[in-house]
Structure formats: structure tokens, C-alpha cells
Structure 1
Amino acid sequence: MRRRRVLSALVGGALVSPLVATDVTVLRLADPRTGETLGVERVEEGDRFAIHYVHSFDKTPIREVYEVHEEGIVQIREEFEYHAIGLEYTERNQTREDGFTVLHMDRRLDTFTVRVAKYTDQTLIINGEERPLSAYTDEWESIRFAVERVNSLRYLHYRLQTL
């Protein structure tokens, strides 16, 4: 009986150890107050994701584009039809593409937080998929976006929390 337990422990350890030893990079969406995982996506260095929304006052589309870096998240673009309240303003690093003004940026962020609006649709676009931010949490609640390097077991734990 003791041999069976030892053998089971060895087999279990052999199955779990690669999960503990293998690191992955994830984009983790979490409740900033509780730390609860709201969503998680595997990402790689240089991957991009975006948040699209409609400006609450001017009712024009806004697209914010971010890139994954080892040190965190970098906002690389902000796209809008025309300048509106609350948007970045600069006359430098600006182009016009397909009817949008594009601000080319290099805004380094460790993490950032977005409040889910009630009166405008906000959509996360990542890995070719679109998902409304309201699918992650209730309106008026916030979501913290962070890039983390975790072992595969932690990644699986995060995934299970979001099911």
C-alpha cells in the first residue's frame, strides 16, 4: 500500500512539475479592489491588443492600441475621427489614416485601469476576438489590465477562476 502511494506521488509530481517549471506571459484582467481575476489571455512579447469605445459626449469611435512588453504594457496608438474632450493632444507624431487621426505613442504603463461605462460600448480586441468589457464585470466597476509572467499552473488557476 505504501509503495502505491509513493508511486502515485511520483507520477503526480512528474505530471505537475512541467506545469510549475514552464513560464508563460499573460494579460490578466482583475478587479483592482479585490484582485479577483476577471479574464486572462496568453500573450507574447510584441503582441497587441486594443480597446474600442464610443466617446461618451461626442459619440465618435475611439481606438486605443497597446503592445505587450517584458516590462509591462505600452500604449502605442490612439485613434479617433477628431479630437474630443479627454483625448491626448499633440501636434507631433500624428498621422491621418482611413478617416482617423492616429497619435503614435510610446506611453509605458506598468498596469492601467478602465472603468466599465454604462452609456457606451467598450470592447477588448485580443487575438482576433472581440469581447465587451461588460462581459468581465458590472457597469461602473473597474478592470485592471496587467502583463504577468507566471508558471503554467498559475495560468491554469487564473483560467479556472474565469469559467
Structure 2
Amino acid sequence: MGILAVGAAILLYILRPEYLLVSDMETGEVLYSTTVEEGERFSVDYIHSVERSPVTEVFEVRNTDIYTMESHTESFGAGMPYEGEEVEMKDGKFVIKNINRRVHGGTLRVRPSAVFPHHVRIGGEEITISDLPYKGRNLEIEVVRTYFRR
């Protein structure tokens, strides 16, 4: 009976849900959370501050890490993403695919623009991180196995 209990506990530990959290980087306050699955993708959309053109970056959840997978841009200027396995033109945008690069530290850090709209899209939801309560904050987007912060 004890072996079954230990086995069940291990299985529950391994299968516990993953959460994508958007938090204030300084205070750790969780401003948004949603469950995510392995391989699920989400995007961050913004207007590039130098090029003044829309950018969409697509990320993928892998365990508790975030990987950059695609970038959609209208130009290749200063600070614009430019590396990837494939580049194609689609609807007037350069689409860089198969970037497949782990975000440094596994956590995405974002400073939403106070001038242009900034969005995170995941699982059919869209949050505008350039509006309150996100506005004016340095944000971290991370994937955790439990909702409770470290």
C-alpha cells in the first residue's frame, strides 16, 4: 500500500499543471496567470520604438522554459530580430521561423511601451500590457509548475 501511495505522489508531482505568469519584476506581484501545456505557443505584439512598425514575436513553452520560435516584422532595422532557420515574406512582413532559441534565463522580460499598444496573446486570450495594471512596470513572463512563487 505504501508503494502505491509513493507512486501516486510521484505521478501527481510530475503531472502538476504549468502556469504562465505575468508578474511585476520588482515586487513579484502576479498580474495575470493561465495554465499552459507543453509546446503551447503565445505571442507578444508591439510597435518597435525605432522602426515604428509592428512586431510579433512567437514563443513556445517547454517545461518551465520559454523559447523564441518566430518573429514577424516589416523591416530589418536597429534592434529588430534577424536570425532564424527560415525567412519568408507573408502579407508584407518578414517572417523568421524556427528560431528555436531559449530565452535567456528561461524568463521573458518586457517593458511595455507607454506610447504604443503592447499585447500578449495566449490560448485565445489577449491582454494589453500597455494598460493598467501592467502599465509603467517592468514585467516578467515565466512558466512555473506551481502558482505559488518561490
Question: Where on the TM-score scale, by shorter chain, does this alignment land: which range?
Answer: 0.7 to 0.9
Q: How many residues are paired up? A: 135
1:91 and 1:131 mapped to 2: Cα distance?
Answer: 27
Q: Is the 8 A contact 2:18 2:64 kept in 1?
A: no
Alpha carbons 1:39, 1:136 under 8 Å: kept: no
Displacement of 1:88 in angstroms is 2.0
Indicate the structure with greater helix content. Answer: 1
Residue identity (%): 30
Read off the aligned partner of 1:29 and give its amino acid letter: V
Is 1:117 the equivalent of 2:113? yes
Opposite residue 33 of structure 2, the aligned amino acid is V
- Please state whether the residue corresponding to 2:115 is helix, strand or coil: coil
Sort the Cα spacing of 1:25 and 1:138 in 2 relative to 1 into closer, same or farther, 3 A: closer
Match of 2:130 in 1: 134
Q: In the alignment, which residue of structure 2 is the partner of 1:57?
A: 50
Contact 1:29 1:144 in 2 (8 A): yes
Aligned AA for 2:130? S
Distance verdict in 2 for CA 1:41–1:136, change over 3 Å: farther
Aligned equivalents of 2:127, 2:95: Cα separation in 1: 23
Query: How far apart are the structure 2 equivalents of 1:137 and 1:94?
Result: 36
Query: Which residue of 2 is the match for residue 89 of structure 1?
Result: 82
Q: Report matched runs for 1:1-80 at 5 Å.
A: 23-80=16-73
Partner of 2:102: 108
- Calculate the TM-score normalised by the size of structure 2: 0.79
Flag the structure with more relative contact order, 1 or 2, with Cα contacts below 8 A and sequence separation at least 6: 1
- Cα distance change on mapping 1:140 and 1:80 into 2, 3 Å: same
Supply the distance in 1 between the matched residues of 2:36 and 2:131 (Cα, whole angstroms). 20
Equivalent AA in structure 1 for residue 136 of structure 2: W
Letter in 2 for 1:40: S
